[in-house]
Amino acid sequence: MENLEIVKEMYDAVAKGDFPAFLGAMDEAIEWNEAENFPYADRNPYIGPQAVAEGVLAALVPTGNIGHYLILNFMKQKMT
């Protein structure tokens, strides 16, 4: 499977609320960094899916902004 297909499946999982599938698609050694001065950057880097779940998703899911956040983050990555 190509990277773009994997990312699309991850976004589909988030849209469906299937966070285990989203996290399961991540490499165990993923290093997730939030932008400096962003509220979730306090524990950068987040190493591994569990750290992403606890440090980023746990903060975003209650706000209902997870999908919007991921789309903006993906677009930012494509532009750089």
Residue 36: CB atoms within 10 Å = 7
d(CA 41, CA 25): 22
Domain of 53, in residue numbers: 3-79
Number of domains the chain is built from: 1
> Can you name the residues that pair with 47 across neighbouring β-strands?
31
Tell me the pLDDT of the chain (80 aa) as tens digits: 788 898 889 888 877 878 889 889 999 999 999 888 888 888 999 999 999 888 887 777 666 666 555 655 554 555 44
Q: Does the model's pTM come out above 0.85?
A: no
